[in-house]
Amino acid sequence: MALSFLNELNSSLPEYSMGLNRIKLINKAVMANAAWKKESFAHLKGLLQKMVTKNASDMDFGGPRSNEQIWYRTYGDKAPDKELAACTDDETTAIMMSVLSGEQKNLLIKQKNLDFALSVKTEETKEPIRFRGNIFFERNSLAVNFRLIKQKLFNIEDLEIPSVIVKRLDLKYEKSGLFLITGITGSGKSTTLDTIINMNNLNNKAHIIIIGNPIEYIHKSIKSIVTHRDVGSDVLSFQHGTIEALRQDPDIIMVGEMRDAATISTVLEVTDSGHKVYTTLHTSSAVDSIHRIIAEFPPDEQERVRYRLADVLKVVMSQKLVPNKKGNLTLAKEILSVDNSIQAAIRNGNITEIFQMLTEGKTKGMFTLQQDLYKLVKSGVITAETAMNYCNNKKVMTNLLNYSV
C-alpha cells in the first residue's frame, strides 16, 4: 500500500462503483481532503525523485498492465522496482487527481488521454525538475507514463554533427527552410532539437517560437527572445500555433511534431514564405521521412507536395539511441543534406535514388545510419551485434562489417 489513507478511501466508495464513475468519486474525495491531496502529491514526488536517482528515462504505473508495481526504464530496459510498495489503481487515481487541474481532468475524461508537463522541486535539487507526463485509460483504469526532461542540454559539439551541417542548422548561416529531426519514440529527438535551439539562442539575436505538446525544456532568453507555447493551454493545436507564429515576428519556429497532413501542409507553407522551421517525425530514416510526408496527402496532391518539399527541405537527421559497451546509450544517426541533385530527385519522384546520394555524400556532411553504426563499431563504442540489431538495412550493415574484417 502506497498511501496511508487507502483503506479509509475504499470504505467511503460504493462497492458497485467502477470505471469512470469510481475515478470521479476518488477525485471528489481527494479534492475534499487537503491531507489526502498533500500525501498523494508527496508520494508522486518521491517516485519522481527515485527516477532521477536511478537515472531512468521513464516511469510507468497504474492500470492492469503494471501489476500494481512501479516500472522504470534505465538505459533502455524497463523493469519493476521491487523495493517500492504496491500501488493500486485507486492509489494511482488519487495520486494523479492531486496534480491535475480541473481543465486537465475534463480533457482527460473527454479525450481518454492527456499530455502534460510537471515541474517538481525536491530537497535534493535547487531548481525544479521537469517531467513530461501522459495519462490514459487502460481497461477502465488510469495508467501513467512520466518521462524525465533533461535538466542540462548538450553542447552542439557533443552530438558529433559534421561542422558543415551545424552551419546549416545555425540561423547565422542559413535563414530559412525545413529541418527535420526524426526517430522512434524515445530516440532523443526532443533533446537534439533543444540542443539546436540552444545553439541558436546563444549565437543569434532573433525571435524563436517553440510550440510543444507539452513544452519540455524551458529556454531562457539569452541572445534570442524565446517564446514557449503549450498546445492545449496556450494554443489550440500545432497547426494553429504555426499559423499564429507568422504574426509574431519569428526568425525560427520549432513545431514539436508534424502529426497530420494539416500540420505538415502548414509547415510547408510557412517555410515556403521564408522562415526557418525545425520539427520532428516518427520515422527511422531520411528516405522514409520524405516518403512519409508525401504519403500523408491524397494522390492528386502529391506532385504539388513533392515540388514544395523539394524547395524547402534542407536537412534531415534520423537518430536512434543504441546500447554501448559501458552499459548506457549512445546516439547513432543518419544525416541528409539537401542539394540540387536531391531536390531534383524529390521533384521527379525518384526518392529511392536519394539513398545512394546519401551513401556517397561524406564530403557534404552526409552519411547513412549503417555508416555511423560502423564507425561506432570501429571505435569500440558498440558491438557488431548491436549494430546489426539497430541498423535500417541488415544487408548493407553486414557488407560493411565484413569489409572491415
pLDDT digits (tens, 9 = 90+) for 16-28: 899 999 999 999 9
> Whose CA is closest to 71, among 364, 82, 368, 198?
82
Q: What are phi and psi of 118, to 5 degrees?
A: -135, 130
Query: CA 293 to CA 306: how far, in whole Å?
Result: 9
The reported pLDDT for the residue numbered 124 is: 66
Question: In 3-state terms, what secondary structure has residue 258?
Answer: coil
What mean pLDDT is predicted for residues 154-172?
96
pLDDT bin (cut points 50, 70, 90) of residue 194 is: very high
User: Residue 405: is its pLDDT beyond 70?
Assistant: no
Domain ranges, ordered by start, for the chain: 6-148, 156-367
If phi over 0 gives left and psi between -120 and 50 gives alpha, with beta otherwise, what is residue 210?
beta
204-223 pLDDT per residue, tens: 999 999 999 888 889 999 99
How much of the chain, in percent, has pLDDT values that exceed 70?
98
The reported pLDDT for the residue numbered 186 is: 84
The reported pLDDT for the residue numbered 199 is: 97
CATH fold for the domain made of 6-148: Beta-Lactamase (3.30.450)
Query: CA 228 to CA 214: how far, in whole Å?
Result: 10
What mean pLDDT is predicted for residues 229-246?
92
Q: Which of 129-133, 341-345, 385-389 has the lowest mean pLDDT?
A: 129-133
The reported pLDDT for the residue numbered 150 is: 81
The edge-to-edge listing of strands for the beta sheet with 313-323 is 225-230, 207-212, 252-255, 276-281, 177-182, 313-323, 329-337
User: Residue 200: is its pLDDT beyond 80?
Assistant: yes
The reported pLDDT for the residue numbered 152 is: 81
Question: CB-based burial of residue 347 (10 Å sphere; 0-12 exposed, 13-18 middle, 19+ buried)?
Answer: middle
The reported pLDDT for the residue numbered 128 is: 86
DSSP codes of every residue in 46-69 = HHHHHHHHTT-SEEEE-SGGGTT-
Is residue 103 within a helix (H) or strand (E), and if so which, with residue range? helix 102-111
pLDDT bin (cut points 50, 70, 90) of residue 125 is: low
Q: Taken in order 363, 365, 371, 374, is the CA torsion positive or negative?
A: positive
300-322 pLDDT per residue, tens: 999 999 999 999 999 999 999 99
User: Residue 127: is its pLDDT beyond 80?
Assistant: no
Whether the predicted model's global pTM rises above the 0.85 cut:
no
- CB neighbours of residue 175 within 10 Å: 12
338-375 pLDDT per residue, tens: 999 999 999 999 988 999 999 999 999 999 999 999 99
Q: Is 192 in contact with 319 (CB distance < 8 Å)?
A: yes
Q: What is the mean pLDDT of the chain?
A: 94
Query: CA 222 to CA 198: how far, in whole Å?
Result: 9
The reported pLDDT for the residue numbered 404 is: 60
Which value, in Å, is the radius of gyration of the alpha carbons in the chain?
23
Long-range contacts (CB closer than 8 Å, 24 or more residues apart) made by 183-187: 183/280, 183/282, 183/283, 183/284, 183/318, 183/319, 183/320, 184/282, 184/284, 184/320, 185/282, 186/57, 186/58, 186/73, 186/321, 187/319, 187/320, 187/321
270-289 pLDDT per residue, tens: 999 999 999 999 999 999 99
The reported pLDDT for the residue numbered 280 is: 96
Instruction: Report the b/e string of 177-189 with b at 16+ CB within 10 A.
Output: bbbbbbbeeebbb
Q: How far is CA 277 from CA 64, 189, 206, 272, 273, in A?
A: 41, 15, 14, 10, 11
C-alpha cell at 106: 475534463
The reported pLDDT for the residue numbered 259 is: 86
Return the ∠ at Cα 341 (arms to 376 and 276), rounded to 5°.
75
What mean pLDDT is predicted for residues 28-34?
95
How much of the chain, in percent, has pLDDT values that exceed 90?
87
What mean pLDDT is predicted for residues 65-77?
93
What CATH number was assigned to the domain covering residues 156-367? 3.40.50.300
Q: How far is CA 46 from CA 2, 25, 80, 161, 219, in A?
A: 11, 25, 16, 37, 26
Q: Taken in order 82, 88, 92, 94, is the CA torsion positive or negative?
A: negative
